[in-house]
Structure 1
Amino acid sequence: MLTARSCAALVWSLTLTLVDGGNPKRLPSIIGGGTAGLTIASRLAPHASVAVIEAGGFYEVDNGNKSIVPFYAFTQPFLGVSTYVKNPLMDWDLLTVPQSGANDRIIHYAQAKTLGGCSAHSTLAYLRGTKGSQDRWTEVSCTLSPPNWQKRKTPNATFEYDMSAFETGKKSGPVHVSWANYVDPSAPWLARALQTTGVPMSSLGLNSGTHSGFGAWSTTMIDPQSATRSSATEYLHDAIQDTSIMVYHRTQALKINFDPATKTATSVRVSTLGLEYTLAAAKEIILSAGVFHTPQLLIVSGIGPASTLQRHSIPAVAALPGVGQSLQDQISISVSSGLNTPSASTLINDPAAFPAVLDEYLASRSGPLSSAGGYLSFEKLPAPFRTSLSNATLSALAALPQDFPELEYIVAAFPSSDPSKIPTIGAVSATLLHPFSRGTVTLASGSMADAPVIDLGWLTHPTDQDLLVASVKRLRQFWNATALQPVKTGDGEIAPGANITADNDILAWEGDPMAVVDAQGRVLGGVQKLRVVDASVLPFALPAHPTATLYALAEKIADDILRGLR
C-alpha cells in the first residue's frame, strides 16, 4: 500500500437488496466515508439502501468555520509535532516513528476523522495529474465556475484557463471547483519570481493534463457563491435528498470478518462510542479507510505479511506481503525571506483590520477569508541544476513518464513575529512529486484501538536526497529574481538561512509480487468480496494534489460495480 499526500475518514456502509425486474441483486457494503467512500456511497445509494458509518462526525458541526471558511484551511493541524493544536474531533493524531532521513524527527501526519475525509481537511487545492499519469481516468465529479474578476480585483494576477478540461455542457458533478474570490497581495510577487526565472504561466491551467514546466493560479474546492468549502459531503447531501442513505457517525471499524473456508468477507465488527456490534455484508465490502487505517484494518483482519500476523497472533486469511509496504509520501522543503507586502494572514490577525475583512466576507463573499488558493508551478529540474545529480539519480528520473514533472513549487505568505521590521514572511516550497524512498505501515498491536506504526521513510533513497538539495538551490534562484527585489526586506534569507549551503547541511535541515489489489480494487490472495478504494492503492505518487484523483478513482470503481450488476 502506498500513498501521496492524503487523508481519509473511516466509514462503513451496509448493503441491502436491490430488486431489478423481480430479480434480487445485491450491492456491496462500503467501508470508507472520506473522499472516495462518500463518492461510492452516493453513486450506489440510488440502487439500494446504503448505511454509512463514520468514526468522526460532521465537520460543519465539529469544527465550524475552521473547516467551512476557506482561509482557515491553513490553520488546521498538518505536519509537525510541536506546533499543531490537537483536535480529536477532526484529526486522528497520528505520529510517525523517528525519521532517519529527516534528522530523526517525529512527524505528525494529519488524517481527517470526519465525513468528507481529505476533502474536508485539506487546503482545498484541486488539480489533476498529467495525461501520462491519468489518461484513462474519468472526469465527471465536479462543476467548474469561471473566476470572478471583479471580486479577485488583482490585475497583476490575471490568467487564461481551459474550460473544456471540465467537459462543460455535460452533466456536472456535485463538487464545486472555482478560482477563489481573493488573491493574497504577496502571492503575485512570488509568482512573478517563478515566471521570470524559467517557469512561465500556463494558458490552460492545471487540469488539462499538461503542467510540467508551467505555473497557474490554482483551482480550489470552494463554492464561489457562498465562498465556503465544497467537499465530498456534497455527494452525501445529494444522496440524502433522493435516496434512503443513512449515516452512523462516531462509529469505528474494528475488524472485517471472513468465512474461513472460502475467505469471503461476510461482516464488519464496529464500535459506536464503545458499544460493539456487527454489520453483515450483503455482497461485498469496500474498504476506504485511508492510507494508514486501510492497511492497519486489513492486517488486524488477517490480510497482510505472514510475519506480522504471527507476531500479533492474528489468524491468517491471506498472507499478502505487500500490505502496509511501499508507502510513498511526497516530501517538501521551503526557502523563506522577508517581504514588505501585506498578506491575508496579516490582515486577518490584525485586530484593527479584521472587522472590515469580516464585513467584506459576509457582505460579498470575497476578501481574505474567502480564499485558500494560491499559485502553483511544476517543472523538471532545469539543466544547470542537474549537473550536481549523480548518474544513478539521473537514470531514475529519466525513467519517469515524459510529461511527469519532478518538482512542484507552492508560494505562500505569513505574518512575521516582528511586523515593524518584517511585515510578511514569504515562502516558496519545493515538493518531490515522485519520491523514490519507501515507508511502511504496520501494527503496534492486534487492535484498531491502538494507532498504526507509521514510518514514512523520508529521504532514505539517495535520489530523493540529491533532488531535495538541488531543489533548494533552485528555490534560492527564485528568491534572487530581479522581479522580487522591490518587495524583499529584512536581513536576508530566513530559512534555511544563508549559512546553510553545504549539501549535507541542507539534508540535515530538513503484475508485482507486492501487489494487494487488482485494477478493480479487489483484494488478491484468494480473498472474496473485499475491495480497497482510497489513496493507499495508487500505484505511484501522482504529480498533483490527490483529491481530484480520488474522486475519479471512486467514480471509476463505482461504475465498475454497477456495470457488473446490470
Structure 2
Amino acid sequence: MSLLSLLFFLSIAHLSTAGTIFTAPAQVTESYDFIVVGAGTAGCVIANRLSEDSSIKVLVIEAGISDNGTESSLISTPLLAGTGIGTIYDWNYTTTAQPGLNGRALGYPRGFVMGGSTSINGMIYSRGSSEEYDRMARVSGDSGWSWDSLQKYIYKNERHTPPWNNRSNVGEFDPHVHGYGSLLTGLTPTVFEHDLRVIQTTSEHPDMYPFNLDVNSGDGLGFGWLHATVGHGARSTSSSAYLHPALNSRSNIDLLLHSQVTKLVETTPKTFNSVQVAQALTAPKYEFTASKEVILSAGAIGTPQILMLSGIGPANHLASVGVPFIIDLPDVGNNLQDQVILTLQYEVNGTTLSPFLNDDAAVGAALAQWAENRTGIAAGNTVVNTIGYLRLPFKSPLLSMGDPAAGPNSAHYQIAFLGTFYPNQGQTVPATGNWMSISIVVQSPTSRGEVKLTSSSAFTHPSIDPAYFTTAFDIGTAIEAIRAAHKFITTSAWDGFIIRPYADAANLTTDAQVEAYIRKFSSTLNHPTSTAKISKDTEEGGVVGPDLIVKGANRVRVVDASILPAAVAGFPQAEVYIIAERAADLVKETWGLT
C-alpha cells in the first residue's frame, strides 16, 4: 500500500469512529435505540456509558450551544468560574417574587450549553454525607442507591489530580476515597493565610470544629479542604469528561445541538419513546423515536416542564394551560428545593485575592498566561478553598418539629471561606484593601416550592418558585449559621487578622438585625432539586420509581437532580454524577446490554 493510500485509509477509519454533531433537526436521518434529552451533568454520563455497547445507537439532544465556541474561555477558565452566568451559556430563568426575600425575584442560572450547569457552576465537588445516599435507598426501597452500594460508581466517576503547579496536597485529602474516573478534580494551587487559620482553628478546638480530612469520604461534618472540578489547568465538566470523549471515538453516538425537546410523544397508550423537537416557537417540528427508551436529563427545571408539556403531571394544572393530561402525576413540578447563599465580608490583615482582582492589568496578564499554556493563577480554583459543614445544637428548638437532614452525620448548614470580597446582590466591591468573605448556606432546608407551566409552549419559561425562607426552620438556621461564623473567627487562631466587617454587616447584634440582613441579601446557590422525586413503586406520591422510570409510563426514564428526594447537604453535581453512573447500568440491565 502506498503512503498516500495509507493516509487516506487512516483518515476514513478516523472519520468512521467519530460521532456526528448536528446543528439542525433536519440533518438527523439515522435511527436510534436511545434518545438522551439534555447534554448536562447526567445526560453526558448516560450517553457515554450506553454508547460503550457498539451494538446500539445513541442520540443526545441539547437545547443549548457548544462548549467550544468563541467565548468558551468564560466557562473553561477556572478563575472565571461563574462569569458564564447571565450570558449565552445560561437559560436565564427568573424566579417569582419571593416574600421570604423581601419580594425580590432572582435570576436563576441553569446551563444552556454542552455540560449543562457543570459548565457554568462554581466547580465545587462535594459528595455530601453517606446518609444522603442511604436516605435515597430508604425512600426508594432500593438498597442499590445506598452509599456502600454506590462505591464502585463513585470510583468510576472521579479522579483526583494535582494542581497546575504541583503543590503538594499531602494531609489535605484522603486518596483512598478518590477513584479513576474521567471527571478531574483537585485542590487549590494557592493557599492563603485565612485557609491556614481555618485549619488551625480545627487543631485548637477539635471538639467544636473537627477537622475533616476529606469531605468526599461520606463523613458529612467538620472543616476541610474543598475539591473543585479542575484538572490540567481547566474546568472539567460532564461534557469534557464524558461526552466529547465518546463523540471523538465512537460512531454510534450523535449530538443534536440548538434544538429543544418540546414534548415527549405518546407512541402507544402510556408509552413515550418519541420526542418532538423544534428550534424556535414558529420553526418546523420534528419527531425522533428511540427503539428502546428516552432518558430525560433536562434538569430540575427542564425535566418537569417537558413532562407536563407531554401530558404527564398534575391534571388540574395542565388543564389550566391547555395541555390535555395523559398521566395524572401530581408531584411533577412540586417539591422544588433550593439552597440560598449570602456572604459576610471582612477586611483582613493579610494577603488575599482582592488586590489582584481589582487590578485589570494583572487579571489580563493571568488570563493571557492561561490561554497560552493553562498555567498561572487563572488555572486553578483559588477563591474558595476551605469549608465547614455543621449541625444545629442537639437541643435546638428548631429541631422540635423534626430533623430535615438525612441523618445525624449530615449538615444543617455550611460556612465556607473565600479569599476575596464576594458581594451579595446590590453590594459594591471595595477598590482597595485585602478582603475575606464567609459564605452561609442552609444545607437542609424545609421550604418547598414548585415549577409550573405558564403556557403550553416549550419556548415560554416556566414559573419557578423556590419558596425561600417560608419556614421558621430555614430562617432560624440561617441566623444560627451567621452566629456560628462570627464565633468561629473570634477564636485565638484569628487574633490580629480581622480588621473590620464590611459596613452592611457591622451591626448584626440582634436576631432581628441578622434576619433583616438575610432577607435583604440572600440569593440562590443554584442547586434546584426534587421536582420529579424518587419514591417506592408502591407509593402513590413521587414521580419516578427506584429504577427512575416515570410512574405510570413506559419507555421513559428520568436521570438528573429532579429525582433527588431532598436538597443535598453537599453540592448536588457530585451526587448527580454518581446517580447517573448507576442509572446507566440500570438501563443496560433493562435491555440486556454490555
Query: What TM bracket, shorter-length normalisation?
Result: 0.7 to 0.9
CA contact (8 A) 2:84 2:90 kept: no
2:465 corresponds to 1:455: yes
Task: Give the equivalent residue in structure 1 for 2:328.
Answer: 319
Task: Give the equivalent residue in structure 2 for 1:38.
Answer: 44
Partners of 2:246 and 2:404 in 1: CA distance: 45
Question: What is the letter of the counterpart of residue 549 of structure 2?
Answer: R
Partners of 1:455 and 1:149 in 2: CA distance: 41
Partners of 2:587 and 2:511 in 1: CA distance: 50
Task: Give the equivalent residue in structure 2 for 1:159.
Answer: 171
Q: Deviations over 1:158-211 (max 9, x none)?
A: 6342211124xxxx32211222323355543455456656323323x1221113
Q: How does 1:338-357 map to 2 (within 5 A)?
A: 338-354=347-363, 357=366
Partners of 1:254 and 1:406 in 2: CA distance: 38
Q: Secondary structure at the match of 2:171?
A: coil
CA contact (8 A) 1:206 1:216 kept: yes
Task: Give the equivalent residue in structure 2 for 1:516.
Answer: 543
2:563 corresponds to 1:537: yes
Q: Deviations over 1:454-476 (max 9, x none)?
A: 10011111111211111111111
Match of 1:301 among 302, 310, 327: 310
CA contact (8 A) 1:123 1:372 kept: no
Task: Give the equivalent residue in structure 1 for 2:226.
Answer: 218
Partners of 1:194 and 1:94 in 2: CA distance: 40
Task: Give the equivalent residue in structure 1 for 2:526.
Answer: none
Task: Give the equivalent residue in structure 1 for 2:97.
Answer: 98
Q: How does 1:112-151 map to 2 (within 5 A)?
A: 112-134=111-133, 135=147, 136-137=149-150, 138-148=153-163, 151=166
Task: Give the equivalent residue in structure 2 for 1:270.
Answer: 277
* Alignment CA distance shift 1:287-1:356 (3 Å): closer
Cα distance, 1:360 vs structure 2: 5.8
Q: Secondary structure at the match of 2:181?
A: coil
Cα distance, 1:34 vs structure 2: 0.2
Task: Give the equivalent residue in structure 1 for 2:290.
Answer: 281
Task: Give the equivalent residue in structure 2 for 1:500.
Answer: 508
Cα distance, 1:56 vs structure 2: 1.0
CA contact (8 A) 1:287 1:533 kept: yes
* Alignment CA distance shift 1:30-1:494 (3 Å): same
Partners of 2:210 and 2:271 in 1: CA distance: 53
* Alignment CA distance shift 1:363-1:348 (3 Å): farther
CA contact (8 A) 1:334 1:495 kept: no
Task: Give the equivalent residue in structure 1 for 2:142.
Answer: none
Partners of 1:31 and 1:178 in 2: CA distance: 30
Q: Deviations over 1:295-345 (max 9, x none)?
A: 111111101111111111211110111011111112233322112433335
Q: Secondary structure at the match of 1:369?
A: helix
Q: Deviations over 1:26-57 (max 9, x none)?
A: 84322121010011011111332222221111
Q: What is the identity percentage for the equivalent residue pairs of Structure 1 and Structure 2?
A: 27
Cα distance, 1:479 vs structure 2: 3.0
Question: What is the letter of the counterpart of residue 515 of structure 1?
Answer: G
CA contact (8 A) 2:273 2:293 kept: yes
Q: How does 1:42-57 map to 2 (within 5 A)?
A: 42-47=48-53, 48-57=56-65
Partners of 1:355 and 1:439 in 2: CA distance: 42
Question: What is the letter of the counterpart of residue 503 of structure 1?
Answer: D
* Alignment CA distance shift 1:192-1:118 (3 Å): farther
Partners of 2:244 and 2:254 in 1: CA distance: 11
Match of 2:438 among 416, 420, 428: 428
Partners of 2:228 and 2:29 in 1: CA distance: 33
* Alignment CA distance shift 1:406-1:64 (3 Å): same
Q: Secondary structure at the match of 1:247?
A: strand
Match of 2:416 among 396, 410, 413: 410
CA contact (8 A) 1:437 1:459 kept: yes
CA contact (8 A) 1:124 1:221 kept: yes
Match of 1:556 among 545, 564, 582: 582
Question: What is the letter of the counterpart of residue 381 of structure 1?
Answer: R
Q: Secondary structure at the match of 1:90?
A: coil
Question: What is the letter of the counterpart of residue 393 of structure 1?
Answer: L
Partners of 1:371 and 1:194 in 2: CA distance: 25
Q: Secondary structure at the match of 1:101?
A: helix
Q: CA RMSD in A?
A: 2.8
Q: Deviations over 1:483-531 (max 9, x none)?
A: 2232322xx322652323332332233245331000111001x211111
Partners of 2:326 and 2:402 in 1: CA distance: 37
2:205 corresponds to 1:206: no
- My pick for the range that moved more, 274-283 or 183-192, is 183-192
Which segments of 5 or more consecutive residues in structure 1 lack a partner in the other structure? 1-10, 18-25, 78-85
Which segments of 5 or more consecutive residues in structure 2 lack a partner in the other structure? 1-23, 134-146, 422-427, 519-535
Question: What is the letter of the counterpart of residue 391 of structure 2?
Answer: L
Partners of 1:496 and 1:50 in 2: CA distance: 53
* Alignment CA distance shift 1:564-1:553 (3 Å): same
Cα distance, 1:64 vs structure 2: 1.9
* Alignment CA distance shift 1:377-1:426 (3 Å): same
Q: Deviations over 1:520-557 (max 9, x none)?
A: 11001x21111111001101122211112111111111
* Alignment CA distance shift 1:199-1:496 (3 Å): farther
CA contact (8 A) 1:15 1:29 kept: no
Cα distance, 1:120 vs structure 2: 1.0
* Alignment CA distance shift 1:321-1:15 (3 Å): farther
Partners of 2:471 and 2:328 in 1: CA distance: 27
Task: Give the equivalent residue in structure 1 for 2:377.
Answer: 368
Question: What is the letter of the counterpart of residue 277 of structure 2?
Answer: V
Question: What is the letter of the counterpart of residue 338 of structure 2?
Answer: D
CA contact (8 A) 1:328 1:540 kept: yes
* Alignment CA distance shift 1:143-1:550 (3 Å): closer
Question: What is the letter of the counterpart of residue 254 of structure 1?
Answer: T
Task: Give the equivalent residue in structure 1 for 2:425.
Answer: none
* Alignment CA distance shift 1:255-1:354 (3 Å): closer
TM-score normalised to the size of structure 1? Answer: 0.84
TM-score normalised to the size of structure 2? Answer: 0.81
Task: Give the equivalent residue in structure 2 for 1:401.
Answer: 407
CA contact (8 A) 1:378 1:406 kept: no
Q: Secondary structure at the match of 2:288?
A: strand
* Alignment CA distance shift 1:114-1:429 (3 Å): same
Q: Deviations over 1:224-268 (max 9, x none)?
A: 3xx011111121122123312111111111111113x62111421
Question: What is the letter of the counterpart of residue 166 of structure 1?
Answer: H
Cα distance, 1:559 vs structure 2: 0.2
- My pick for the range that moved more, 403-412 or 368-377, is 368-377
Cα distance, 1:352 vs structure 2: 4.8
Task: Give the equivalent residue in structure 1 for 2:483.
Answer: 473
Q: Secondary structure at the match of 1:278?
A: strand
* Alignment CA distance shift 1:288-1:464 (3 Å): same
Match of 2:243 among 236, 260, 276: 236
Partners of 1:496 and 1:437 in 2: CA distance: 26
* Alignment CA distance shift 1:96-1:320 (3 Å): same
Cα distance, 1:381 vs structure 2: 3.3
Aligned length: 518
